[in-house]
Amino acid sequence: MEVQVKKPTEEKLKPKLFSVMKNYSGQQLVKDITAGVIVAIIALPLSIALALASGVGPEQGLYTAIVAGFIVAFFGGSRVQIAGPTAAFATIVAGIVAKEGMDGLVISTIMAGIIMVIMGICRFGKLIKYIPGTITAGFTFGIAVTIVIGQVKDFLGLTFKHAPIETTEKVAEIVKCMGSLNVQALIIGLISLAVLILWPKKLEKIPASLIAVILCSAIVMLSGMKVNTIGDLYTISSAAPKLTLPSVTFARVKAMLPNAFTIALLAAVESLLSCVVADGMIGSKHRSNMELVAQGLANVGSALFGGIPATGAIARTAANVKNGGRTPISGMVHSVVLLAILLLLMPYASLIPMPTIAAILFIVAYNMCGWKNIRDMFRTAPKSDIAVLVVTIVLTVVFDLVVAIGVGMVMASLLFMKRMADVTEAHAWIDVDDEDTDPDNILLKRIPENTRVYEINGPMFFAAAEKFKYMLDDKDIDVLVIRMRNVPAIDASGVASLEEVVKRCTKHSVNVVFSHVNEQPFHAMDKAGLIETVGRENFCEHIDTALIRAQEIEDSLKKGA
C-alpha cells in the first residue's frame, strides 16, 4: 500500500487586509478606529523622540510612522502590526546621517526595502529563525546602551565642545563636559522620568509619554526655566510628506550596500518578532513572507517621502491589540490620525523640553534591552553562548551593528560547527556475542570473518572530516562496511573523506560496502561519482543486506583463491 505524505501548503503572498475584510463588521470598525486613535497618541511623542535620537528632524519621525505605518497595514501579513520608527534603528541612522548625510540614508533605506521585498518573494521569512537568540539579545541590549549614552547630554543639559559620533567618543565628551551640568534641565528630566514610571500604575489608558510631554512643556513655558526645547535646536515643519529623490551614483550605491543589508536584516528580524508576539496575543498566524514584502515597500515609501527606516513596533502593536484592534484598519487609522496631528498641531512640538525627550528614550531603552533574558542566559547558557552574547554587546556599543552581527554570526557558526563535529563519530564493530533488545544492533549480527563494520553518527561536514580517515587502520580485511543510517547530511569535505577511504581500500584490495545511506548523502555521493566508483550493487538499504553482500564478496574471493 502506498503511503502519501501531505506536504504543508505554501504560505500565501496575500495581504491580511484582503482576507479579514470578508467578514468585517461595523462593530469591529468602531474598535479599530478607537485603537488606531489611541496608538497614534502613543506613537506621537515616540516618533518625535526616536527621530531626534536618529539625528534627523522631529517631523521625519512622523513621516515614517504615517507612510510606513499605512503601507504595512495595507500590504502586511499581520492583522494588527503597527509599523514606524523604532529604537533599534536610532544609532544606525544617526551614524549614517552623520557620515553620509540624508542622501546616504535615503539610498540605504531604499536598497534595504528592495532587499526585503526580494527576501519575501524568495520565501525567506522562515529563515530569520536561524539567527541565534544570543546575537539578537546581544545587539538589542547593545543598542539600548547606546541610546542611553546618546541621551545623557540632553537629560543633564550638558554643553558639548565637540560633536562626537561614536559611542565611546560620546562617553569621553560627557566626562569632559560634566562641569556644564544644567540643574534645571536635570529637574525636568527627573520629573519626566517620574511621570513615565509612576503614571502607568494609575492610569494605563492615557499614555504616560503624552502626559510627561504636556506637563513638562507647561512647566518650562510658565516658569521660564532655561531648558533647551525642540524649537531651540530644530526647525519645526508642519508640511505633509513630499516625494524627494536622492542624488544616486553607482559609487554611492556600492558604498551604502553594507548599511542597506544591516537595515534590512534588523527590520526583518524585529518585524517578524513583533508578528510572533502579536500572534500569541490574538490567536492568529501571520504571513511572514508577505510581511517582509510589506516592510520592504514601507521602507522604500518612507525614504522617498522624507522618513527614516521603519519596522514593526512591538510596544505599539501590543497597545493596538489591548485597545481592541483586530484588523489592519486600526493601523491605517493610526497613520491618518498622525497625519492630521502633523498638519494641525506640529508647531506645538517646539515647546517639548529636550530632557523630556531623553527621559522617554531612557524608558524605551529599558523596555527594549531585555535584561531579564540576558540575566537568564548568564545563569543557564553554555559558556560558548555567553561568549557570543558578550562579544555582540561590546561590539555593538564600541563599534556598530554591522561589525557586531558579522562577528557574532561567525562566532556562533564556528561554535555550532564545533558542537556538531564533537558529536559526529565513527565506531568500529566486529563479531561479538551479546544480548540486546534492539534487533538492528550490530552486536546481534553475524559479521563475516574478514569484514569490519564502521558506523558513522552525525553530520559529515568539513569540521568533522578528519574523524573518518582512520577507518582503514586495519588493512588485513577483505570488506569494509560503512553504516550511515545516522548521517542526515554530508558536504563536499565529507564526500572527499569517503573518497579518500575508498581509494585507500582499493589500494589495499579491500572492498567497500555502504549500508543505509540517507537521501541527501546519497545524492551528494552520486553527484561526486563515488557511487559509480564503489558500484551500485555495494549500496545496501539495510545492515542485514550489507552483511549478506560482504559475505558474498568474501566467498567469491575464497573461490578465486
- Per the CB < 8 A criterion, the answer to whether 58 and 353 are in contact is no
Mention every residue, 6+ apart, whose C-beta is less than 8 A from residue 270. 86, 88, 311, 312, 314
Dihedral sign, Cα of residue 430, residue 432, residue 437, residue 440: positive
pLDDT truncated to tens, each residue of the chain (561 aa)?
343 444 445 678 999 999 998 889 999 999 999 999 989 988 999 999 999 999 999 999 999 999 999 999 999 999 999 999 998 888 889 989 999 999 999 999 999 999 999 999 999 887 776 778 788 888 889 888 988 998 999 999 999 888 787 888 889 999 999 999 999 999 999 999 999 999 887 776 778 888 999 999 999 999 999 999 998 888 888 899 999 888 889 999 999 999 999 999 889 988 988 898 888 888 888 999 999 999 999 999 999 999 999 999 888 998 899 889 999 999 999 999 999 999 998 888 899 999 999 999 899 888 888 888 888 888 877 788 889 999 999 998 888 777 887 888 888 888 877 766 765 656 565 444 444 445 556 566 788 888 888 888 888 876 665 666 666 666 678 999 999 988 888 888 788 888 888 988 888 889 999 999 999 999 989 998 999 999 999 999 999 999 999 999 999 988 876
The 3-state DSSP class for residue 382 equals coil
From the number of C-beta atoms within 10 Å of its C-beta (0-12, 13-18, 19+), residue 126 rates as exposed
Amino acid of residue 509:
S
Grid cell 568500529 in the structure block, residue: 428
CA 430, CA 442: separation in Å to the nearest integer? Answer: 9
- How confident is the model at residue 436, as a pLDDT? 47
What's 91-115 look like in SS3? HHHHHHHHHHHHHHHHHHHHHHHHH
Torsion of CA 482, 485, 488, 494, to 10 degrees: 0
Q: For residue 135, how many C-alpha atoms fall within 13 Å in the half-sphere facing its CB?
A: 22
- Per the CB < 8 A criterion, the answer to whether 478 and 451 are in contact is yes
CA 508, CA 494: separation in Å to the nearest integer? Answer: 22
Strand partners, 151: none
Q: Could you give the angle at which helices 133-156 and 26-53 cross, rounded to 10 degrees?
A: 70
Task: Please work out, in degrees rounded to the nearest 5, the angle formed at the alpha carbon of residue 38 by the alpha carbons of 33 and 44.
Answer: 120
- How confident is the model at residue 292, as a pLDDT? 96
DSSP string, 317-376: HHHHHHTT--SHHHHHHHHHHHHHHHHHHGGGGGGSBHHHHHHHHHHHHHHHH-HHHHHH
DSSP for residue 82: -
Strand partners, 83: 312
- The phi and psi torsions of 219 (rounded to 5 degrees) equal -60, -50
CA 99, CA 402: separation in Å to the nearest integer? Answer: 15
Q: Does domain 425-560 have CATH number 3.30.750.24?
A: yes
Cell output for 524: 551528494
Q: For residue 440, how many C-alpha atoms fall within 13 Å in the half-sphere facing its CB?
A: 11
pTM above 0.85, yes or no: no
- Where do the structural domains in the chain lie, given as residue ranges? 25-368, 425-560
Cell output for 421: 563535529
CA 371, CA 369: separation in Å to the nearest integer? Answer: 6
Residue 338: name the closest of 11, 45, 133 by CA: 45
Mention every residue, 6+ apart, whose C-beta is less than 8 A from residue 53. 87, 90, 94, 147, 150, 151, 357, 361
Task: Please work out, in degrees rounded to the nearest 5, the angle formed at the alpha carbon of residue 552 by the alpha carbons of 550 and 553.
Answer: 65
DSSP for residue 180: G
- How confident is the model at residue 4, as a pLDDT? 45
Residue 399: name the closest of 107, 102, 142 by CA: 142
- How confident is the model at residue 464, as a pLDDT? 64
Strand partners, 540: 515
Task: Please list, residue by residue across 530-555, b when 16 or more beta carbons sit within 10 angstroms of its beta carbon and e when fewer do.
Answer: bbeebeeebbbeebeebbebbbebbe
- Per the CB < 8 A criterion, the answer to whether 97 and 54 are in contact is yes
